[in-house]
Amino acid sequence: MDSLLDYYLWIVVFHIVAVMSWMAMLFYQPRLYVYHTEHKEKKEFVEVVKIQELKMYKYIGMPAMWATLISGTLLIIINPALLTGDGWLHAKLFFVLLLVAYSFSLGYYRKELAKGNYSKKGSFFRAYNEVPTVLAVLIVGYVVTKTFSLSFTLITLLIGSFIIYKVLNHKPKEEKN
């Protein structure tokens, strides 16, 4: 264990880079789904987007997610004192689990779109694209402050929900007339 402790900060660096890579996929993948669904009649365009969806998800996002989870687990194993305190790490881990579920949901939607199943509209994916941002605000807030704040959590969730609601119900200019 002492030998791992010597590498603790390097593992933190690796963890941060892995998180950044994972978040890149989480932010961009739903945007690809918007393009896919809103241009489904353009077959050549859709074929290019399908390739981007696959590569972003399978070769960037999922390896980065696993690297994040493994390095994060290793950090807790090396420094179990992180689990003590007012519960900030527990809250972080809960929202990380939601990000993991979100990641797998993106894989599900990718497969459905690849098969030509368009059960969700572009507006859904625009709104869905806001979920990782809300979760990232919570996670980063806990990590930076090393504090769990119920008011911060509730306010962030309320603001995030409002933004998602507005995005979901946004009407393009041509539909407003």
What are the structural domain ranges in the chain? 2-176
* Whether pTM exceeds 0.75: yes
Q: Which residues are annotated as a binding site for heme?
A: 15, 92
Show pLDDT as tens, one digit a residue, over the chain (177 residues): 567 778 999 999 999 999 999 999 999 999 999 999 999 999 999 999 999 999 999 999 999 999 999 999 999 999 999 888 789 999 999 999 999 999 999 999 999 999 999 999 999 999 999 999 999 999 999 999 999 999 999 999 999 999 999 998 887 766 555
Place of tokens 């989480």: 26
- In angstroms, what CA-CA distances link 74 with 82, 92, 95, 104, 144? 12, 16, 18, 22, 19
Q: Which residues are annotated as a binding site?
A: 15, 92
Q: How far is CA 6 from CA 15, 18, 105, in A?
A: 16, 20, 37
